[in-house]
Homo-oligomer: A and B are copies of this chain.
Amino acid sequence: MVRKMRTSEEYRQDLYRLKPNVYVRGKKVGRDDPEVSGGINIISKTFDLVDDPYFKDLLTAKSHISGKRINRFTHIHQSAEDLMKKQEMTRKICRLVGGCIQRCMGCDAMNGLSIATFAADMEHGTDYHKRFLEYLKEFQERDMVAACAQTDVKGDRSKRPHQQDDPDMYVRVVEKRSDGIVVRGAKNCITMAAVADEIIVVPTRAMMPEDKDYCVAFAIPADADGVKIVARTSKVRAPKGLDMPQGEFGDDENMIIFDDVFVPWDRVFICGENRYATLAAYLFALFHRHSYTGCKPATTDIIMGFGALIAEYNGVYERHNIREKLVELAATAELVYAAGIASAVHGTKTPAGTFMPNEVYANIGRRHAGLNYYKELEILAELAGGLPAALPFAEDFLSSEVGPLIKKYIKRKSDVPPEDVYRCLYGISNILCSSLGGVQAVAGVHGGGSPVMEEIAIWRTYDFEKKKDIAKYLAGISKDMPKD
């Protein structure tokens, strides 16, 4: 008998049962508030398609611990193929929600912790990995949706965690008890925390021994006592009266305040070991950057699709200057995607069993995406012309007084209905001229780590010494023939 998997309706009802601790526009609300419905609609797609004949092989996997069929967003990747499937799933499902699928965060955090806890135990004899596996079991069984809270508020950027005037500028352990720990601090820029079942916390940077209290990773329910989620929500301009999938989606970016939150020991995965706190920070970023090699090509696919469609509607699709722009978009999408493939092909099977993406390729892929997002918007703006900024509101388009005139004057080629032209431009306007579009752009640069962060990661992991050896050999400074 095939296991019945969690449905989006179950997910939604579970969320509605959480205690109201989301703060938005001056109010404290529950997850049934319309402000956060956009995110819920997005995440729902990850449940709705698990039995779709086309998507099921992508959206589900066989658990390496239970052998059961699970949602791939809860899977610990075991092979290069797993990584490639995750990447493909991410790309294909992101397209359906107009951008970020949001659920990768928890998956990436779990994969990172699977390695970091194992490694910590090897050195310290701790039992983090056992705790982690217990949690993973539940995570897969309950098909959980988790936010990963990494970015601390950081206070004075020139100081390390333990040097801050206010010690709470990075999330820290303020008390250790027999049954668990109490944590205080705040994380910001945390996507979809307002629509997650759980929040997984990992450190945000390399930690020194002096930063011991800040070396903490754990998981808690999203409505745990003391957790306050301050949400910045964004949507597109409601296309009143026009049915449009793109209009149903939205984003919540959150400041999560940990106002002395208790975490039981079985949910604590790192506590005090600075090297493994560092590793946990690093590995979440690594897995997350690999995920970006799936989602950013999807975003480019969407931009490319709208750009190609409006060019077709405008009757200029075959022109050279249109073609070169579309090819530029295709190249960006596929270079990023290729980097993800190479990252999988050159990945590593870790002692924990988890298959880890190659660092250089994951980072150059994410970096390339981050360096090109605004360029892609620019291309879309060039392809679309000025109308996305000047498009009449849907209420006017549908009105009986000016609606017919708008339809008359928005028409282009005779074989394209004015409403299709309008819808296409509306969709582009959502990308270029909405707060949500702006949020996606900022996330396109910074999400998962800004290009400057990938620059640092590449600088640290790429073997430039080997390159110098090539120069030395060619210039006759050294006789050693360079190999790798």
Contacts and interface: CB of A to CB of B under 8 A. Distances in A.
A73 to B, nearest CB: 19
A302 interface: yes
Nearest to A363: B331
B320 A188 contact: no
Interface in A361-379: 361, 364-365, 367-368, 373-375, 377-378
B96 A188 contact: no
Contacts of A395: 25-27
A184 B274 CA distance: 55
A45 to B, nearest CB: 10
Contact of A439 (B319, B338, B405, B433): B433
Contacts of A323: 455, 459
B331 A458 contact: yes
Contact of A364 (B98, B242, B338, B388): B338
A460 to B, nearest CB: 10
A27 to B, nearest CB: 8
A462 B327 contact: yes
A346 to B, nearest CB: 8
Interface string A409-434: 11111100000100110110100111
Given A385-B446, A393-B26, A474-B244, A368 B435 contact: no
Nearest to A92: B483
Nearest to A405: B257
Contact of A386 (B387, B408, B443, B469): B443
Interface stretch (A128-136, A152-160, A210-218): A152-160
B396 A230 contact: yes
A442 B433 contact: yes
Interface residues of A, number: 154
Contacts of A393: 24-26, 232
A409 to B, nearest CB: 4
A51 interface: no
A149 interface: no
Contact of A381 (B342, B398, B434, B442): B442
Nearest to A310: B471
Q: Does more than half of chain A's interface fall in helix, strand or loop, or is it mixed?
A: helix
B474 A386 contact: no
A477 interface: yes
Contacts of A308: 464, 467-468, 471
A289 to B, nearest CB: 13
Contacts of A446: 381, 385-386, 389
A47 interface: no
Nearest to A469: B305
A427 to B, nearest CB: 4
B468 A305 contact: yes
B338 A28 contact: no
A16 interface: no
A43 to B, nearest CB: 17
Interface in A219-255: 228, 230-232, 234, 237, 242-246, 253-255
A407 to B, nearest CB: 11
A66 B467 CA distance: 38
A331 to B, nearest CB: 5
30 contacts: A92-B483, A95-B482, A151-B386, A153-B409, A155-B411, A156-B414, A157-B412, A168-B409, A188-B409, A189-B387, A232-B391, A234-B389, A234-B433, A244-B474, A253-B390, A254-B390, A255-B409, A257-B402, A301-B470, A309-B468, A326-B464, A335-B335, A338-B361, A373-B378, A375-B378, A382-B445, A382-B452, A385-B450, A388-B442, A433-B438
